[in-house]
């Protein structure tokens, strides 16, 4: 196989961090499962949703929000650890005895966080969604008609494909921030967590001291905050009429049609809005971020190659 | 004899501390080299420069490559153990074998399985659950399963008890040392590796003070347990080392033959540790 060694490193990385990417999500999903079950058995039966497809969409959306936040936080700590983990667990010399460069090792660690972990997290979103949906169906017997299992699977796969694309785009957007903390960890190990915030803060304070013109006018501060959250071009996004069609959807269905109408409309809209949303992503800025991330990874790997022997 | 490593005018500084000072040597194919010196003498630094783990002044060619610039390519033909505790502890033994098999094109799973089947290391055991002795044998089995041209062992038995040390070297000789392979080894247990060395290098304060084949050492150095009446006469022959042990005067001479020492006492060949102590105190 052509990329055997690369895949082996990716696999090793997932094994090394299985606690964050497999065990903790499994425990969290189990806790939610039990809580939802208990809520059904002992809690009040006030219903947020009335139909099975609404339960499915609600389950999926809530799991997506929860695991996306989980992923964002976990990846920060993953990157703060991954680039210095070989030193910390004393295996650096073992890796240096293998015919694989430091650049490749750190590059693959970075790819794990950027591209592989979102896929793993998507798996947990899907598992969590199915579990919450099943509990919802069991608890609330007053749903109209049940949705056939294969239709549920199809819906979840459709939703997952949209989520995957969005997760990957968001991860690519955030790479310079994650690369920054990973880069710092090569030099400062666990202190990278604090320094990832302290260094920009110091720069902002220095900027304020040198070019003082009011605390709300920090160029560095506003650039970083905008670069962190403004993935879309807000001026073109605000003018995009197609994206606002969701507000005008008529959800008043005839009962006979009700089984999957809501889910169908939501999924169709998500698909069409996805491509619209992607057209508003600041791709040039995203590419710039990828280049900066590459520089961070390269400089980190050169430092590891030249100065870290064990 | 084919030359695998050529080191010319190698120097290395850490800050103001000159660790290696203009050393030159060659490593030939099919031999076992012992690199022996005090703590801090520069042995590990020599190995690290050969392995491409640090930069240096001077010139090093390992299998025709510059190790500092081409470490990852070079590691296809060099296997090394710098620290027996450096195996990734979060993996199981089987996962470690699979990983190395996927990464290293010259690793043989069949050989590895063969080595482990003759040990009490379980494939499903976690690396972190293994004892120091087991870790050393596992690491040795891993590197012996790589069809490398050069094997570098830096204090591979450090911290192991005598049984595990003997097992380690026995496995090394029985299972690895054939087909023209070359080993460079450093250790503090000089006596335990003496029998397997074909060449020895003594390192003192960043310089190689002895670089010789073991056969030549036997011919070159003589140890004399001096008769009490002949001490003055023997001392006149300028021994490189003189000491009194258990009431006897012991001298080591460089370059004298048995005839020149005849009648002064009992002449023997010094063992490596005695010679090491002698030359380190010069």
Across the interface, do B102 and A4 touch by the CB < 8 Å criterion? yes
The confidence score (pLDDT) of residue A138 equals: 74
Q: Tell me if chain A has a CB within 8 Å of the CB of B73.
A: yes
Asked whether the predicted pLDDT for residue A255 surpasses 60, the reply is no
Residue B54: closest C-alpha in chain A: A306
Q: Which two tokens stand for residue B201?
A: 């290098």
> Residue range B34-54: average pLDDT?
93
Q: Tell me if chain B has a CB within 8 Å of the CB of A104.
A: yes
Q: Which of A83-87, A238-242, B55-59, B183-187 has the lowest mean pLDDT?
A: A238-242
- 3-state SS of A42-54 is HCCCCCCCCCHHH
B235-251 per-position pLDDT tens digit: 888 899 888 888 889 99
In this complex, the residue of B53, B87, B102 whose CB is nearest that of residue A5 is B102
Across the interface, do A89 and B88 touch by the CB < 8 Å criterion? yes
Q: Which of A11-15, A99-103, B151-155, B185-189 has the lowest mean pLDDT?
A: B185-189
The confidence score (pLDDT) of residue A211 equals: 80
With pLDDT > 90 as the criterion, what percentage of chain B qualifies? 61
> Residue range A226-231: average pLDDT?
91
Q: Which of A183-192, B139-148, B185-194 has the lowest mean pLDDT?
A: B185-194
Task: Compute the distance between CA of residue A260 and CA of residue A272 in angstroms, rounded to an integer.
Answer: 18
Across the interface, do B90 and A90 touch by the CB < 8 Å criterion? no
The confidence score (pLDDT) of residue A145 equals: 63
With pLDDT > 70 as the criterion, what percentage of chain A qualifies? 85
CB count in 10 Å sphere of residue A151 = 17
> Residue range B68-80: average pLDDT?
95
Please give the mean pLDDT across all residues of chain B. 91
Asked whether the predicted pLDDT for residue A143 surpasses 70, the reply is no
Please give the mean pLDDT across all residues of chain A. 87
Q: Which CATH architecture has domain B3-205?
A: 3-Layer(aba) Sandwich (3.40)
Three-state DSSP at B264 gives coil
Asked whether the predicted pLDDT for residue A260 surpasses 70, the reply is no
Polymer length in residues for chain A: 310
Q: What is the pTM of this model?
A: 0.88
Strands B221-226 and B265-268: antiparallel
Distance from CA of B148 to the nearest CA of A (A): 11
In this complex, the residue of B74, B83, B98 whose CB is nearest that of residue A310 is B83
Q: Tell me if chain A has a CB within 8 Å of the CB of B54.
A: yes
Asked whether the predicted pLDDT for residue A244 surpasses 80, the reply is no
With pLDDT > 70 as the criterion, what percentage of chain B qualifies? 99
Q: How many CB pairs lie under 8 A apart between chains A and B?
A: 77
Alpha carbon distances (Å) from B235 to A82, B216, B219, B242, B278? 63, 23, 20, 8, 15
**Tokens 């989980």, residue located:** A70
The confidence score (pLDDT) of residue A216 equals: 64
Residue B98: closest C-alpha in chain A: A8
> Residue range A292-305: average pLDDT?
97
Going by pLDDT thresholds of 50, 70 and 90, the confidence category of residue B10 is very high
The confidence score (pLDDT) of residue A265 equals: 78
The confidence score (pLDDT) of residue B21 equals: 94
A55-70 per-position pLDDT tens digit: 788 889 999 999 999 9
Phi, psi at B178, each rounded to 5°: -150, 180
In which order are the strands placed within the sheet that holds B57-62? Answer: B17-28, B3-14, B57-62
Chain A partners within 8 Å of B141 (Cβ): none
Secondary structure letter of residue A252 according to DSSP: -
Name the nearest CA neighbour of A102 among A301, A294, A309, A297: A301
The residue that leads in pLDDT, A267 or A299, is: A299
Asked whether the predicted pLDDT for residue A264 surpasses 90, the reply is no
The most confident of the ranges A3-17, A251-265, B181-195 is A3-17
Q: Which of B68-77, B164-173, B273-282 has the lowest mean pLDDT?
A: B164-173
The confidence score (pLDDT) of residue B74 equals: 96
Q: What angle do CA B84, B85, B87 make, to 5 degrees?
A: 95
Q: Tell me if chain B has a CB within 8 Å of the CB of A248.
A: no
The confidence score (pLDDT) of residue A239 equals: 79
Q: What angle do CA A160, A165, A166 make, to 5 degrees?
A: 95
In this complex, the residue of A15, A91, A309 whose CB is nearest that of residue B48 is A309
Q: Which two tokens stand for residue B47?
A: 């190995």
B105-118 per-position pLDDT tens digit: 999 999 999 989 88
Instruction: Give, for B223, the enclosing helix (H) or strand (E).
Output: strand B221-226
Chain A partners within 8 Å of B85 (Cβ): 90
């Amino acid at each position: 196989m052509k990329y055997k060694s690369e895949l082996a490193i990716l696999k090793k990385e997932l094994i090394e961090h299985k606690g964050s990417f497999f065990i903790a999500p499994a425990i969290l999903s189990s806790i939610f499962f039990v809580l939802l079950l208990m809520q059904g058995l002992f809690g009040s039966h006030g219903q947020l949703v009335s139909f099975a497809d609404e339960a499915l969409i609600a389950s999926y959306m809530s799991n997506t929000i929860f695991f996306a936040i989980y992923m964002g936080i976990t990846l920060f700590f993953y990157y703060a650890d991954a680039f210095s983990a070989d030193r910390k667990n004393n295996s650096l010399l073992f890796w240096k005895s293998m015919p694989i460069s430091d650049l490749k090792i750190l590059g693959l660690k970075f790819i794990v966080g950027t591209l592989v972990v979102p896929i793993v997290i998507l798996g947990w979103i899907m598992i969590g969604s199915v579990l919450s949906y099943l509990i919802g169906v069991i608890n609330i017997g007053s749903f109209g008609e049940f949705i056939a299992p294969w239709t549920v699977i199809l819906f979840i796969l459709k939703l997952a494909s949209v989520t995957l694309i969005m997760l990957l785009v968001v991860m690519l957007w955030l790479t310079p921030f994650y690369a920054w903390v990973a880069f710092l960890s090569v030099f400062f190990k666990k202190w990278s967590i604090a320094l990832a915030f302290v260094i920009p803060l110091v720069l902002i304070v220095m900027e304020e001291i040198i070019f003082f013109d009011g605390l709300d006018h920090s160029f560095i501060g506003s650039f970083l905050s905008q670069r962190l959250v403004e993935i879309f071009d807000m001026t073109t996004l605000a003018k995009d009429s197609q994206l606002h069609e969701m507000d005008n959807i008529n959800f008043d269905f005839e009962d006979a049609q009700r089984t999957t109408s809501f889910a169908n409309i939501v999924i169709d809209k998500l698909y069409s809005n996805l491509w619209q949303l992607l057209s508003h992503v600041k791709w040039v800025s995203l590419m710039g971020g990828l280049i900066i991330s590459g520089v961070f990874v390269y400089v980190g790997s050169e430092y590891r190659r030249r100065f870290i022997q064990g | 004899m084919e030359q695998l490593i050529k080191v010319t005018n190698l120097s290395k500084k850490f800050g103001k501390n000159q660790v290696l000072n203009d050393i030159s040597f060659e490593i030939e194919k099919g031999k076992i080299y012992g690199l022996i010196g005090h703590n801090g003498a520069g042995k590990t630094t020599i190995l690290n420069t050969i392995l491409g783990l640090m930069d240096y002044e001077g010139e090093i060619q390992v299998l025709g490559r510059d190790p500092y610039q081409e470490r990852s390519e070079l590691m296809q033909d060099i296997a090394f153990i710098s620290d027996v505790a450096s195996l990734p502890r979060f993996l199981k033994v089987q996962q470690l074998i699979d990983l190395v098999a996927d990464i290293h094109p010259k690793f043989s799973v069949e050989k590895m399985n063969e080595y482990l089947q003759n040990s009490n290391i379980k494939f499903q055991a976690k690396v972190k659950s293994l004892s120091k002795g087991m870790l050393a044998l596992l690491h040795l089995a891993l590197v012996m399963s790589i069809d490398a041209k050069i094997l570098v062992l830096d204090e591979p038995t450090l911290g192991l008890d005598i049984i595990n040390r003997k097992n380690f070297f026995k496995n090394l000789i029985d299972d690895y040392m054939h087909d023209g392979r070359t080993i460079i080894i450093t250790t503090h247990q000089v006596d335990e590796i003496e029998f397997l060395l074909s060449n020895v290098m003594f390192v003192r304060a960043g310089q190689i003070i002895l670089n010789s084949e073991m056969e030549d050492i036997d011919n070159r150095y003589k140890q004399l347990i001096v008769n009490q009446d002949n001490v003055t006469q023997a001392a006149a022959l300028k021994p490189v080392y003189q000491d009194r042990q258990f009431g006897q005067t012991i001298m080591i001479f460089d370059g004298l033959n048995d005839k020149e020492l005849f009648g002064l006492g009992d002449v023997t060949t010094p063992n490596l540790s005695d010679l090491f102590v002698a030359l380190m105190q010069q």
